[in-house]
Amino acid sequence: MLIQPAVSDGESRTVLLAGPRAFCAGVERAIAIVEAALARHGAPVYVRKQIVHNTGVVRDLEARGAVFVDEVHDVPAGAVVVFSAHGVSPMVRELAEDRGLEVVDATCPLVAKVHSETRRALRRGSTVVVIGRRGHDEADGIMGESTDRTVLVQDVTDVALLDVSGPVSYVTQTTLAVDEVAAVVAALQSRFPGIAPPPSEDICYATTNRQNAVRAVAAEAEVVLVVGSGNSHNSANLVRTASKLGRPAYLIDDASRIDPRWLDGITVVGVTAGASASPSLVADVVTFLRTLGAVSVHERTVATETMSFTMPTGARTAYSRENASVDGRQMLTTKAAVPNHPS
């Protein structure tokens, strides 16, 4: 039997909500694009890879008629396929065209920006160093801009092993932590004094904001719960960031994954969510914490996000026709009420 976490009689447990948390603009846009494709074409609509790295989002869209596949050759010829928010290589686009697929592109505009930077650097004759995570969908897509003139580095050890000549540029996977990238960039600049940086910051504003927010929460909390899936790099980085501050931190897909023993004797709990996790999952965590005793909920907001991205033309038309789905989305809604949250 699980030990019920102890909170002293008459004392409430404090829950600190990191702000910003949960969905970012690129994730909201990608999910809306799949919904619009379903509204326009009907089920099934095929999606290459997970539209975003969150199992709850994928399950919800599957229930609506989305079919997730690994590659475009898994999609029936002539069918509709959505490219995920993480972007794809030119080869994937060519394969989709060869199969006569109707492509709906949900690539996050900030990821598309990195692809554009990579292509410009390649046209200048540079070898492009991609700072990223091996096997991550986003890094794979960027690397695919050139199979022989891009090279991936994950850390300073990889930089030391680089064997390139001529002009060198670098770009960055958008979901990395600022501090881990800084060390790699410093190593690159030391090895290649003339290396060309991207014209503007590649790390996503939402990634940076969520990392700063979890630092603010971890400074006060005794334990931090991060809502996100195991394959979400930005969610895993939130756990890493809190842990670096000496706080026990746990990555959970949803409230059902919370082990009450983590909270034994804990009076201040930090809660956040990666950019691919639904706000409603955070609300569910707070609801679960209330089953363990009285809870007082407070925000720790470090930034207010106003970024939004335009939908592709066809998807925008279909989505406006299905306007009820904007306000009617439950699990996929932009905002989710936290029970008894102070105004």
Residues linked to residue 17 through DSSP beta bridges, in sequence order: 271, 299
> Is pTM beyond 0.85 here?
yes
Instruction: Residue 293: give its domain's CATH number.
Output: 3.40.1010.20
Q: What is the pLDDT of residue 334?
A: 37
32-53 pLDDT, tens digit each:
999 999 999 999 999 999 999 9
CA–CA distance, 18 with 297 (Å, rounded to integer): 11
- Both 219 and 267 in one domain: the answer is yes
Rg of the chain (C-alpha set): 21
334 lies in some domain: no
**Six-digit token string for 141:** 């897509």
SS (H, E, C) 199-243: CCCCCCHHHHHHHHHHHHHHCCCCEEEEECCCCCHHHHHHHHHHH
Number of domains within the chain: 3
Range of the domain at 273: 13-24+205-305
Contacts of 284 (CB under 8 A, 6+ apart): 254, 255
Residue 134 belongs to what H/E stretch?
Answer: none
Helix axes 233-244, 205-218, angle to 10 degrees: 30
327 lies in some domain: no
- Both 74 and 118 in one domain: the answer is no
325 lies in some domain: no
pLDDT digit string (tens) for the chain, length 343 residues = 333 454 554 568 999 999 999 999 999 999 999 999 999 999 999 999 999 999 999 999 999 999 999 999 999 999 999 999 999 999 999 999 999 999 999 999 999 999 999 999 999 999 999 999 999 999 999 999 999 999 999 999 999 999 999 999 999 999 998 888 999 999 999 999 999 999 999 999 999 999 999 999 999 999 999 999 999 999 999 999 999 999 999 999 999 999 999 999 999 999 999 999 999 999 999 999 999 999 999 999 999 999 999 988 656 555 554 543 333 333 343 344 455 554 3
**By the 8 A CB rule, do 104 and 66 touch?**
no
- Both 49 and 63 in one domain: the answer is yes
165 lies in some domain: yes
Q: Which of 122, 157, 191 is the last residue of a domain?
A: 191
**Six-digit token string for 267:** 């009076």
Instruction: Residue 82: give its domain's CATH number.
Output: 3.40.50.11270
- Both 19 and 98 in one domain: the answer is no
Q: What is the pLDDT of residue 242?
A: 96
Q: Which residues carry out catalysis?
A: 138
Residues linked to residue 18 through DSSP beta bridges, in sequence order: 300
- Both 74 and 131 in one domain: the answer is no
